[in-house]
Amino acid sequence: MVIPSLSLPQDELRRITGALCYEERLLFLLLTLRQPDVEVIYLSSMPVDTAIVDYYLSFLDDPDEARTRLQMISLGDPHTNPLTVSLLRRPDVLARIRSPLGRATGAWMVPFVVSEHEERLAEVLGLPIYGPATSLAHLGSKSGGRVIGEEAGVPMPRGFADLRSLTEVEHAARALSPTSKLMVKLNNSYSGLGNAIVIKDERPLTACPTSFSAAHETWTTFAEKIAERGAVIEEFVDDLSLRSPSALARITPGGVYDVVATHEQILGGPNGDVYQGCSFPARSAYRTQVGECAEQIARVLARRGVVGLFGMDFFAVKTDAGYRPLLCEINLRIGGTTHPFGAALLTTGAAYDPDAGTLMHDGQPKYYMATDNCTSAGLRGRTPGEVVKLVQDRGLGFDHESRTGNVLHLLGAVPEYGKLGFTSIGNSAEEAAELHRRTLLALCPST
């Protein structure tokens, strides 16, 4: 049962164009229907366009048979409550879910993120969750990430964690002297929207030049969030050669852990720290080191009892001896790199080779580049089916023989917002990048 509820800080979520459509990020899990013994129940706040469901099933050998093992269940609720909150208030839908669950063996819940609402839903339905318990959620906060990084022996920028007021942030800023450029990060935020960069001088932080990553943020609103969520402050890593790789890892309920991918993050926004997309894998200059750091972190989290798929963001800083990874944060939830990885993995049938750091299928490595932010006024008003046809007609669709091409996502945001995402898969990094460029030009010429 897939419950892609965005049980996250709603003030930041409202800043994302077409945020409700991000419930579609986990639709790549429909591709697990390739296995004949798998059934999928997929929940959503609003109905997913039939053309979108047909599109994902078209990747399978027998779409019609797979459809018999799929239930798409919508609450028909466009309101601002997270999906799980609304679902818990709908006994009729809960009863509809219980029926197939009662016939299944080995059923489990796959959430976008685990909050107290997902845990309550799991209790009501009697389902185990593939995700970390809320009692461990603090380990995925910015402060918790620094604790785990220290325990794992992974390098991090100088900084202080678990700050609960603007006054504490001020004291920590003075302790980081003589560093003049600092980053303040809210404990629980995503896509970089809870960050502020400060150019520190002798004055209080609120009087210093500050750039907030989220639009319309001020020190007044930010201080309220610090008091509510807590924060960290770190020296700002300012280097022209700086890179921003990330890693994905998973931990099974039995405590087995492994790193399944590394990525190069594509960042934007006013501070260059808001997630826009990614490419796979991370650069060879530091791919191995990032993987090793990620494995050390996964080992600690497994020991702490964490379960599920999670991401880690790093800085890669150039030194005389090569690049050195610095842990930036840990995200104990589905992240921006999860659905591109899942789409590439399930469409190509490849497996991750930890030694090479790439996906491999029959000796052929697979590479990809992905975006969540292809936006064009020319797409607004078009249907998802029209966009799928456009991509296919331009020769940009997925080729089942070569196992290369595009996998589209976020199609539900097309009609109202003219926005979608896609993952461009190639047999080389250059092929993936060129396909991505051509697709952007075809769909979003102004991007």
CA dihedral 295, 362, 343, 422 (to 10 degrees): 110
Domain pair 158-235 / 245-443, same fold: no
Residue type, 181: K
DSSP 8-state secondary structure symbol assigned to residue 109: B
Q: Tell me which long-range contacts 210-218 makes (C-beta under 8 A, separation of at least 24).
A: 211/270, 211/271, 212/270, 213/269, 213/270, 213/271, 213/273, 213/274, 214/12, 214/15, 215/15
**What's the chain's length in residues?**
447
Mind listing the pLDDT tens digit of every residue in the chain (447 residues)? 999 998 765 555 556 666 778 899 999 999 999 999 999 999 999 999 999 999 999 999 999 999 999 999 999 988 778 999 999 999 999 999 998 887 777 899 999 999 999 999 999 999 999 999 999 999 999 999 999 999 999 999 999 999 999 999 999 999 998 878 999 999 987 666 789 999 999 899 999 999 998 888 999 999 999 999 999 999 998 776 789 999 999 999 999 999 999 999 998 877 777 788 999 999 999 999 999 999 999 999 999 999 999 999 999 998 888 899 999 999 998 888 999 999 999 999 999 999 889 999 999 999 999 998 899 999 999 999 999 999 999 999 999 999 999 999 999 999 999 999 999 999 999 999 999 999 999 998 865
- 10 Å CB burial of residue 283 (0-12, 13-18, 19+) is middle
> Hey, where are the domains in the chain?
2-130, 158-235, 245-443
Residue 359, beta-bridge partner list: 352, 366
The architecture of the domain spanning 245-443 is 2-Layer Sandwich (3.30)
Measured in degrees and rounded to the nearest 5, phi and psi for residue 107 equal: -80, 150
- 10 Å CB burial of residue 95 (0-12, 13-18, 19+) is exposed
Could you please state the CATH topology (level 3) that the domain comprising 158-235 is classified under.
Dna Ligase; domain 1 (3.30.1490)
